[in-house]
Chains A and B, each alone.
Chain A
Amino acid sequence: MTQDEFIIAHQSEWAELDQLLGESRDRGVKRMSPFAISRLAALYRGLSADVARAEGSRFGDDLLAHLERLASRAHALLYKAPPWRIRVAWNFLSREFPRTLRRRSGYFTAASVLFFVPMILGIVGAIVSPGFAERVVPASALAQAADNFGDRYGGGRGAGEGALMTGFYVYNNVGIAFRCFAMGVFFGLGSVFFLVFNGVMIGVVLGYVVRIGHGDNILSFVASHSPFELTAIVISGAAGLQMGMSLVRTHGETRLGSLRRQGPEILRLVLGAAVMLLIAALIEGNYSGSALPIPIKLASGAALTLAVVAYLAFAGRDDSKSVTPPAGVLEGLGAEDARGSSA
């Protein structure tokens, strides 16, 4: 069969497939008729044979390219990823996220050290040594902090401030955590920097406010949301460190292969941290700044700290209740796949 005969014999099918693909793009494959969908699949299989034929017979490059484009569009439609389900999200939060964190506790420990040691040094330095805070943190930021936790603070917040601050904390803090993770792509060094940097900043501001005499204000303010917020930043950093380490210690694979294998695990950590940060932002915006007595705030802070520790330490340990949804639906977010746990 010559190329021209080949084209004449098949071009109506190719045109039909092209048209069906256009339709599916406009209306979505779910709203197509069952007949159209099965016709599409049949045409794609026919096209697969045509591609092989065109390649084997060494037909023209343009023809082959045309068929390949058509095939790739059909392929992208027919092999679309399965939809996302709410049960997967619940399974993720109640089991997979804390489990992954415990399996990778080494990174979590390392990130904690990188974050909390500079933070404690910052607190101690700012309290003990006058002028220390001014040299580390810009004066405007210190003035802002002093103003926020100064005398005006006692009366609680004005109307609408809760929504404003929630929005700001989501925008700012979740963004910090995401960046803390993303910078890990530079062999983990970016995450190390972000952890230490944010640790120092938070520590120095905290110590400075304590030194100028508003310690009770700031401690009662941060008590309730910081268990979520600081832990989540550390977890994001841990995910960044794991990403960096997977590029360094490859276990005999290529660097990208090694990274790819740990990708689902790393993502679980980041998404879990994001959820914790959302909770933190809600508390921070609406509860932390309220006019409740200081002892109540400190008590709730202690209770929430225990809750976070208990969640991360124990959630998902009971395997008997574990729901294992069918493979494929989860794509690494759900059940512990062999690829993730063998790493």
Chain B
Amino acid sequence: MTDAAIDTTVAIEAPEQIRFRYRLAGPSLRAVAHLVDLVIIGFILGAAALIGAIFAIPFLLGGTEGADKTMTGVILLVVFTLQWGYFTLFEALRNGQTPGKAMFSLRVVKDGGEPIGLVDATLRNLVRAADLLPVGYLAGVVSMLIDPRFRRLGDLVAGTMVVVEDRLTVATPLYVMPPTPDEARTLPMRVVLDADELRAIEAFLRRAIELGPELSAELAATVAAGLARRHGYWHSDPVRLLALLYLRASEPLRLAGAAARGAIPGLPASAR
């Protein structure tokens, strides 16, 4: 796991001496979040105009001269504040999240993963004016496509990036149905898979339900034949084959783990 990984993640070192990877937010996700923010800005503007109009009505009906002009001036101030302040204030006060970004679990963080402050938020949003050039964020999108961290010009100036904080729900043990007596009869007692193979099969098995039976069978078939030949064990269902091999291969680990804790005196801890 290095910074130069060819995917959309970036590794960050935390003060607790651990490294964790952030998933970077690409242009399309950020564009959608931005649209949400624009809609919210539109609503705020509409609400401000409505409130202003309600306040101005008595003056207009009473014939007070210039009430309409005063209101226009106030609206212009609101437009200015929203144009230059909406993103800056939300990102500074809500720890890198505008309402639109929060909706899609996006967050602006410093290049080192630290939370951004007022200075960072102000810089990245002032330079937004340059990102907008010549029209519709063209400069910003070009910058995002060139930069490996999807940073627009404002991000480059402020030293920030936008990450996805998605919540995965996989922190549960992987359940594999134990072999039926029929399967157990031919399943070898000892199956050796290296760590990468175990991880790949595990990742696959966790996704098998989402993938659906046809697609998962097709994917499993690409590796099942090789593994079957290596272990001298065949099964009509390639997905089930991988599951059984995974189950058997991870059993010695369980024994070794137990040995490491002293549960099985006979087995040396180095067996894992």
Interface residues of chain A, those whose CB is within 8 Å of chain B, are: 1-5, 7-8, 11, 14-15, 18, 44-45, 48-49, 51-52, 55, 58-63, 65-73, 75-77, 79-82, 84, 158-168, 170-171, 174-175, 178-179, 181-183, 185-186, 190, 243, 256, 259-260, 263-264, 266-267, 270-271, 285, 331-333
Contacts and interface: CB of A to CB of B under 8 A. Distances in A.
Given A166-B73, A175-B84, A178-B84, A81 B118 contact: yes
Contacts of B202: 3, 60, 62
A72 B106 CA distance: 12
A267 B80 contact: no
B76 A171 contact: yes
Contact of A168 (B22, B70, B73, B159): B73
Given A69-B165, A164-B73, 20 more contacts: A2-B257, A51-B20, A61-B199, A62-B202, A75-B14, A80-B115, A81-B114, A160-B69, A163-B70, A166-B73, A167-B72, A167-B74, A170-B76, A171-B77, A175-B83, A256-B159, A264-B119, A267-B126, A270-B126, A271-B122
7 contacts: A65-B168, A70-B167, A159-B66, A164-B73, A167-B74, A183-B129, A263-B158
B74 to A, nearest CB: 6
A76 B96 contact: yes
A182 B129 contact: yes
A131 B157 CA distance: 43
B175 to A, nearest CB: 9
A167 B77 contact: yes
A71 B73 contact: no
A206 to B, nearest CB: 24
Contacts of A72: 12, 20, 22, 113, 163, 165
Given A61-B199, A171-B76, A243-B157, A2 B119 contact: no
Contacts of B231: none
A256 B122 contact: no
A185 B14 contact: no
Contacts of A69: 165-168
Contacts of B64: 159
Nearest to B129: A182
B21 A65 contact: yes
A15 to B, nearest CB: 8
Interface in B161-199: 163, 165-174, 195, 198-199
A190 to B, nearest CB: 7
A225 to B, nearest CB: 16
A11 B76 CA distance: 53
Contacts of B157: 185, 243, 259, 263
B76 A76 contact: no
A52 to B, nearest CB: 5
Interface in B194-247: 195, 198-199, 202-203, 206
A343 to B, nearest CB: 15
A250 B1 CA distance: 30
Contacts of B123: 263, 266-267
Given A62-B202, A75-B14, A263-B159, A7 B171 contact: yes
B116 interface: yes
B165 A185 contact: no
A294 B79 CA distance: 33
Nearest to B109: A76
By Cβ-Cβ distance, the 4 closest A-B pairs, closest first, are: A160-B66, A167-B73, A159-B66, A167-B76
A44 B18 CA distance: 11
Interface string B110-147: 00011111110011001111100100000000000000
A2 B14 contact: no
Interface string B53-96: 00000000000111111101111110110011000000010011
